[in-house]
Every structure is written in structure tokens, then in C-alpha cells.
Chain A
Amino acid sequence: MNIASIFKGFINRNGWGLGSYLLIAVGFWLIILIILPQLSMLDFSFRHHLPPPEMGGPKDTYTFEHYKFLALGAQGADQSYNVVDLGVFVRTLVAAFFVTILDLLLCYPLAYYLGQASGSGYTRILVLFLIIPYWVNEILRAFAFRIIFGDSGVINEMMMTMGLIDNPIDFIRDNIALYSGLGYAYILLMIFPMYNVIESLDRNQIEAARDMGAPWWRIHWRIVIPYAKPGISSGCTMVFMLSAGALAAPQILGGPSSLWFTQIIYQWFNQGGNWPRGAAYAIVLLTVCIVIVLSAMRLFKVKMGDIGK
């Protein structure tokens, strides 16, 4: 079966009009929107930082300069590694990991409850409540957390009136606000994949296990969790990737001393004006995140096709 006959069969099945729409749309999406921009960013990250007129000129050669900068820091710096940027990078990944775990622990019981008690009007209301915060702007959600956790925020004022503390606790500096805001932002992405899978679990399995005397934790450990694995992994993947790549919440809720890696990228683009370096940082973030996710999927034996169900 060669390409020409595949193409012929495709056109036969869909007709010229529809067939060309499909080909053009998919081609545009795949090549122009997804693949070429990524490749171009990859290419760009290996270029020198040049003013526009010199682009394409003799100085426009390939270089590892930006990756070196991320790893080793500026030349002649005190440390032999770029401690600041690498530190931020590691902290971002670790924090994203903990946000993912937090969301998983918080959402699993609810997903199970909703999935098992599905259908009644009561659960529909609960689902509605779940969706409403998600429709509100990301910025506004982060802003709400600032109202709550700020120096003169609700929690501090309340604790001070109750006499629990004398001076406001700086939740922003302690990053408590940031973690709760990030966890909050992606709750829905954790809960719905799990809910969808658990909903299709046959209740008889659970009852059989219960009849045979399994305690509740073993029912979850041996039946529900293995069954819900695709949902759990797809939820975790999305939450991890999105919180590692979050920009709004760290910008609004982040403390003055703690940067998120995306903020550094943002600075290279908007304040530093060094686009190739920003692109190099973005490539590193993307690659490392993908490697982490893929190895976690390999570890838990989940396929890529399960994501997004």
C-alpha cells in the first residue's frame, strides 16, 4: 500500500470537498501550529542574541551559549554553577510535584464519592459547584487568594481579632498562598478524569469484595485504584505539567524572594529582551517535564492513549 493509493482511498471515502478540508485543517494544525513553532523555537534557542538587522548575517551561527548560561551562569561569576536559576528550576519542579500530590489526595475521595453516587440531583449540584470556580478567570482566582492571605487579609484579620496572633503572618512570603492557589487552580483537571473512570466501575465488584470481608482500604487498594489508574495518571500529568508551567499564580501570589521558573523565562522575554535565552529556558522546562511525565507513566505502566479520556 503506497501513499498514492492511501490518498486515493481517503478521497474516495470523503469526497473532494470534505477530504481537502480534513487534510488542510489537520495539516495546518499539525504543521503550522504545533510542529514548526516548536522546531523554530528549538532552533532559535541555539542562536546568538543579535539585534534584528544582524539576523541571518555572518554572526548568526549556532551556539550553546544559552544552555551553558543556565547550567554554569555568567562567565566570571563566583559560583561554578548557575545556582540561582537551577535552584529556581528544581524548586519549581518539586513544588509542582507536591501540588500534584496535594490535589490527588484532596480529589480522590470526592471523585470516588461522585462516581459511585452518580446520577442524583444532589451530585449534579455538587458537580455544578465544581465547575463554577473553573469558569472564573485564572487571574481572579489568584487574586481571591491574595485577599484571603494578604497582610490585612481575611485570615490574618480573623486570627488577630480572636487574639491568636499579634502580628500578621506573612503567608505570601511563606509561599502558603502560592501553593493553595496553585492547588486550587487545577482541582478540576484532577477530579474529572478520575470521576469519569470511577463512574464506569461496576459496583458489583466492590460489593463482592465487601461480601468477602475486605476492609475498605483494601477495596480501594486492590479494586478502585487499579481500575482508576488511567484517570489518576491523566489527572496527575495534567496538574503537574500545568502547575510547573503556571505563570499567573506565581506572579500574583509568589513571595518576593521566590521565583517560579516560568517567571524567569518571562523576564528574559519581556524585561531582559533576550529572546533566544528565554527560548532555551523554555525548551529545558518542556523537555524535563516531558521526561518526568513519561518516566512516571512507564513506572506506573500507563499508556499515552489514556491521557485526556
Chain B
Amino acid sequence: MKSQNLVLRIFLGLYLAVFFGYLLGPLIIMGITAFNSPGFPRATPWECLTFEWFDVLANDKRIMNGLKNSLIVGSGTVVLSVALGLAGALMLTQIYPKLRATFYTVVIAPILIPGVVLGISTLVFWDRLNIMLGFSGDSFLHNGIFLTILGQSTFIASYCMLVFLARLQRYDTGLTEAALDLGATNVQAFRKILVPFLMPAIASAAVLAFLASFENYNTTTFTFGKYPTLTIELAQKVRYGINPSISALAFTIVVLTIFAAVVHEVSQRRKQLALANGAPISAVGGSFQLPGFLRGNPAAIVLLVLTVGAVATISFASTYSPEACKVDVREQKRELQKQQIEKIQQQRQQQKLDKALQGPNIFGPDKSKVAPAPGAAPQSPGKGAFGGVFAPGNLDKATPKPESKIESPGKGTFGNVFAPSNLGEPAPEAPK
């Protein structure tokens, strides 16, 4: 039984490793490319540690403009979809029971409708409304920001509604009734009882709505008009020519995300601790410095490590200059290129030599048989003294019949050198 448990544990560990490798690996690799100096985002080969891509990013006007548009659209979407989602959730709690299933299906449908369809339908509808009302082509109904907010809110409001519904399930309607009995008006009961109860849900719905709006592409790509959001700009950059400044942006977003998530986690944890101990929340405030608190809280440790890492990186970045390294790499590359050029030149010379030597043999029966067996070919190009002969160009003409080659030895001037038996071994007389 115990050994079975161990096997199970190993399997579980392996599975978790694979799963989270798949989940986090791409982000980590992308993060690495943000610090590598080649102009195309790549993690290998590692060349120089550089921070220039963050500079490039900060100076990219289109990205910054996209960011601005994204923020505008995001805030509009948050307001609209939280309002709509809240109304939808409240409506669902008091709607005529027979209608409830239908209503739920209709308001939940936008989550399932492909974003492309939502974007198109929004665009088509407002465009036709515009024509119907006889407005000009640049009225506000054609405004990219207006359309994008509406298109995104259509489905983001459904997300918000789900958040509210989850919270409302735990609501005791007796509270509202009590308030009404005690003489509160409807609005008062709503404002003083229900809204405070829903406050956490409103906050998380707002965060969710903002994130969903910020990263939306499918809907926005049809509605953005003259106001491309950050995602649209990114997509265009990724599709047409990229440099690692995109990685730098991704890295920034990931770090901010982790930071926000960890801060949230820590505060959550602190609240739980406080509640568990029966203490008011304020009492555990400031426990961050206590090592005892850190011991039980991996999230806080992560936060600490992150902060230290960030400070270290920034101070390092302000003193470190990648120029020297870059020059080095350029030098290395030039050296490599030189070597390659030399190699090619040598090959050419050898080829000439070969041809000159082979000249008399052209009429010999071995012309086609000189080529090596196809199987041996990949090892030879450029390496052997007779590189040119083995060049891929010759292979096309080569007869793929090794047997016929066996007949040839001794007929050509070079005789045995080309015999298949020689090809298996490292080529003789390799140049340096």
C-alpha cells in the first residue's frame, strides 16, 4: 500500500510539474527574451543582458497611445458592465419564475457567443442605426471608443452578473424586509443594506471587468475604429515585425500581475488570520515585519523576494551598461563570419582543384558514381577536403544506388577516396 502511495505521489508531482511547466514556461521564456539583446525576440542563444527594450517600449508612441485608449475603454466598460450586471442579477432574483430560465439563457448567452460575432453585430447594428437616423459618417455612433465599450460590455456584463449572483445566493432577504419594516424606504434599504453587502462582489466584478476589457481582442478588432487599444496595437506589432519590446511589456504586465495577486493574497491571509484569532483586522496590521508571520505565509515570502528582486534589478540597471558586451558579441559574430567566408573560399578552391583533376575523367564511367551514398551525405558537406563534391547540388544528380559505386574504385584518379567505405570515417585531410 505504501509503495503504491509513493508511486502515486511521484505521478502527481510529475503531472503537476508538466502542467505548470506548460502554464508558466511560455511566460518565463518570454520574460527572458525581454533582457536579451538580439533584435528579434529569442531566448537562445543568449547574447547580452540589456534593458534597452524597456526604453524602446517607453518611447513607442503607438503603444502608449494604445495604452491610453485601453484605459479609457476599460473604465467605461467597468462602469457600464458593473451597472448592467448588477441590474441583471437583481432582476433575476425577483423575476417571474417561469421566465427565469429564459432570462438566464439570454443574459448568459453573450459569454458563449464568439467574440467575433459580438463585435460584428455591434458594428453592423450601430452602423445601420446611424444610416437610419441620417447622421453623418463621423457621428458619435461611429466612434471607436463608444462602440468598443458597448461591444465589450455586452459580454463582460454577463461575467459581472455571475459574480453578483454568487454573492446574492448568500444574502438573507430577511435583512431587507427588516429594514423596510423599520421604516426605511426602498432606496435606503438598497443603499444601506444590499449595496454594502455586495461591496466585495462589486470590487471583484470591477477588477474582472477591467481585465477582461483590457485583454479583449476578438470584439475590439471590429469596433475600434480610429482608436486602437493596446491589444490591437500589440496584435499588429506581433503580426508585422516584432522586437523584444513586446516581451518587455509582457514582462512588466506579468510582474505587476504577480505583485497585485500577492498583495491581494497577503491581505486576504491577514484578514483570515485576524478572524481566526478573533481579533479586529486593525490589530494584525503591521504584522508584516514580524518574522513569525512570514513563517506561515508563503505568499508574503514571495512578495518579499519580489520586492528585493525589483530593487536589486533597478539599482543594477542604473549602473550596468550592455554596450561592452554588445561590442564583444558583434566582434564574435564578425569573427564567425570571417571563418565561414574563409571556409567557403577554401571549398571553392577545392572545388576548382577537383574539377581540374577530374577533368580527364569526365568521360569515365564513374562520373555519376562519384557521389556518395545518400545516407552518408549529411555528415560530409563542407567538412571533408572534397567538400564541393559532396555539396547538396551534386546530390540531386547522384544515383541512389550504392551497389553501382562498388564497381568504380580504381577507375578514377581519386579512386578509393570516394569509395563508400571511406565515407563512414571522418573525412581525411580536413582543413585545419
Give Cα A239 to B353, complex, Å.
64
Closest to B188 in A: A15
Closest to A35 in B: B106
Chain B, interface size category, equals 35 or more
Q: Any chain A CB within 8 A of the CB of B128?
A: yes
Provide the residues of chain B in CB contact with A139, threshold 8 Å: 215, 217, 231, 234-235, 238
Assuming the A-B contacts A52-B131, A140-B253, A147-B42, are A29 and B157 also in contact, with contact meaning beta carbons closer than 8 angstroms in the complex?
yes
Give Cα A154 to B254, complex, Å.
20
Asked if B115 contacts A247 (CB within 8 A), the reply is yes
Q: Any chain A CB within 8 A of the CB of B186?
A: yes
Q: Which of B255-292 contact A (CB under 8 A)?
A: 257-258, 261-262, 265
Nearest CB in chain A: distance from B87 CB, A: 3
Per-position binary interface string of chain B over residues 361-405, scored 1 when its CB falls under 8 Å from any chain A CB and 0 otherwise? 000000000000000001000000000000000000000000000
Q: Any chain A CB within 8 A of the CB of B316?
A: no
Asked if A44 contacts B106 (CB within 8 A), the reply is no
Q: Any chain A CB within 8 A of the CB of B45?
A: yes
Asked if A30 contacts B107 (CB within 8 A), the reply is yes
**Which of B186, B214, B221 touches A14 (beta carbons < 8 Å)?**
B186
Asked if A41 contacts B121 (CB within 8 A), the reply is yes
Nearest CB in chain B: distance from A153 CB, A: 7
Nearest CB in chain B: distance from A164 CB, A: 14
Q: Any chain B CB within 8 A of the CB of A90?
A: no
Closest to A41 in B: B121
Q: Any chain A CB within 8 A of the CB of B50?
A: no
Asked if B218 contacts A247 (CB within 8 A), the reply is yes
Asked if A137 contacts B26 (CB within 8 A), the reply is no
Provide the residues of chain A in CB contact with B254, threshold 8 Å: 132, 136
**Which of B33, B90, B214 touches A147 (beta carbons < 8 Å)?**
B33
Give Cα A102 to B33, complex, Å.
28
Q: Any chain A CB within 8 A of the CB of B341?
A: no
- Most B Cβ at <10 Å: residue of A22, A251, A282: A282
**Which of A6, A246, A265, A307 touches B108 (beta carbons < 8 Å)?**
A307
Q: Any chain B CB within 8 A of the CB of A10?
A: yes
**Which of A30, A55, A251 touches B235 (beta carbons < 8 Å)?**
A251
Asked if B235 contacts A29 (CB within 8 A), the reply is no
**Which of B112, B234, B258 touches A293 (beta carbons < 8 Å)?**
B112
Asked if B26 contacts A145 (CB within 8 A), the reply is yes
Asked if A143 contacts B242 (CB within 8 A), the reply is yes
Q: Any chain B CB within 8 A of the CB of A228?
A: no
Q: Any chain B CB within 8 A of the CB of A233?
A: no
Q: Any chain A CB within 8 A of the CB of B347?
A: no
Provide the residues of chain A in CB contact with B378, threshold 8 Å: 166
Q: Any chain A CB within 8 A of the CB of B423?
A: no
Provide the residues of chain B in CB contact with A144, threshold 8 Å: 26-27, 29-30, 250
**Which of A13, A121, A133, A262 touches B298 (beta carbons < 8 Å)?**
A121
Closest to B42 in A: A152
Asked if B154 contacts A33 (CB within 8 A), the reply is yes
Give Cα A209 to B110, complex, Å.
40
Q: Any chain B CB within 8 A of the CB of A238?
A: yes
Q: Any chain A CB within 8 A of the CB of B12?
A: yes
Nearest CB in chain A: distance from B424 CB, A: 18
Nearest CB in chain B: distance from A47 CB, A: 10
Give Cα A121 to B265, complex, Å.
10
Assuming the A-B contacts A14-B186, A22-B90, are A124 and B299 also in contact, with contact meaning beta carbons closer than 8 angstroms in the complex?
yes
Provide the residues of chain A in CB contact with B101, threshold 8 Å: 304-305
Provide the residues of chain B in CB contact with A129, threshold 8 Å: 20, 23-24
**Which of B24, B153, B217, B261 touches A138 (beta carbons < 8 Å)?**
B217
Assuming the A-B contacts A34-B110, A252-B235, are A40 and B128 also in contact, with contact meaning beta carbons closer than 8 angstroms in the complex?
yes
Provide the residues of chain A in CB contact with B128, threshold 8 Å: 40, 44
- Most B Cβ at <10 Å: residue of A130, A147, A305: A147
Assuming the A-B contacts A18-B187, A113-B12, A132-B254, are A241 and B231 also in contact, with contact meaning beta carbons closer than 8 angstroms in the complex?
no
Asked if B87 contacts A278 (CB within 8 A), the reply is no
Asked if B217 contacts A148 (CB within 8 A), the reply is no
**Top-10 shortest CB links A-B:** A245-B114, A15-B186, A25-B87, A144-B26, A37-B121, A37-B125, A41-B121, A144-B30, A157-B44, A40-B125
Which residues of B approach A to under 8 Å, CB–CB? Answer: 12, 15-16, 19-20, 22-27, 29-30, 33, 40-45, 83-84, 86-88, 90-91, 94, 96, 101, 104-118, 120-122, 124-125, 128, 131, 150, 153-154, 157-158, 162, 185-187, 190, 211, 214-218, 221-222, 230-231, 234-235, 238-239, 242, 246-247, 249-250, 253-254, 257-258, 261-262, 265, 296-299, 378
Other A-B contacts than A28-B84, A137-B231, A252-B239, 13 sampled, CB-CB below 8 A, are A18-B190, A33-B153, A33-B154, A34-B106, A110-B16, A128-B299, A133-B24, A138-B217, A143-B234, A154-B44, A248-B235, A275-B124, A308-B162
Subset of 15 A-B contacts with CB under 8 Å = A6-B96, A17-B187, A35-B106, A52-B131, A113-B12, A133-B27, A135-B257, A139-B215, A139-B231, A147-B43, A184-B26, A238-B111, A251-B235, A283-B117, A308-B162
